[in-house]
Structure 1
Amino acid sequence: MSSKLQKAKGFKKSRTGLYFSIATSLIGVPGTVKRAKEAKQEGDMLQLVDVAVSAAGIVTGVVLLVRELRRLDVVDDILDD
């Protein structure tokens, strides 16, 4: 395995990589909220269910990333400041 590929794999587990992952997960929130408002106005139950599943995926992803940050003792350091 090349050193560049190894370095890229290590980035995901770094603090910076985890912050980046959280940010990219949260980018989907405004679009999901917009879709929810439109579906509610139209009374489209299937779209509302789709939005709920999407929102659950976003929340789950962020919670998993925060758990990983806690494992690295990053969150505790931030909260103590």
Structure 2
Amino acid sequence: MSTRALSKAKGFKKSRTGTYLSIGTTAFGAISVVKQAKMARTDNDMLKLVDAVVSAAAIVTGLAILYRELKRLGDDDVLLG
């Protein structure tokens, strides 16, 4: 990968589009955490349930950071408040 292409890829990550994509992929990860929590409750497996809760907390924190990044980028989308 050329230096210019690498620089462009890094810039995408900090763009609104890249941030929206990150929010989508992070939120998509929440689906597996919900499934994990349901399975843990069904199996009465407290350790797996704790793992699901910790994973959910990581997802919520990640989404909060991404939301803050959107605000920093000056996004004026009415859906984001």
Q: Same fold (TM over 0.5)?
A: yes
Aligned to 1:79: 78
Query: Counterpart of 2:78 in structure 1: which amino acid?
Result: L
Aligned to 1:18: 19
When the two structures are superposed, what TM-score results if normalisation uses the length of structure 2? 0.90
Tell me the CA shift for residue 18 of structure 1.
0.3
Tell me the CA shift for residue 8 of structure 1.
0.5
Tell me the CA shift for residue 79 of structure 1.
2.1
Equivalent positions of 1:58-73 (< 5 A) are 58-73=59-74
- Distance in 2 (CA, whole Å) between partners of 1:38 and 1:2 is 46
- Stretches (4+) displaced over 2 A: none
The gaps in structure 1 that reach 5 residues or longer are: none
- Cα offsets for 1:12-60 (capped at 9, x unmatched): 1000000000001011111111110110111100000100111011111
- Distance in 1 (CA, whole Å) between partners of 2:13 and 2:46 is 37
When the two structures are superposed, what TM-score results if normalisation uses the length of structure 1? 0.90
Count how many residue pairs are aligned between Structure 1 and Structure 2.
79
Query: Counterpart of 1:60 in structure 2: which amino acid?
Result: T
Identity, % of aligned pairs? Answer: 54
RMSD: 1.7
The gaps in structure 2 that reach 5 residues or longer are: none
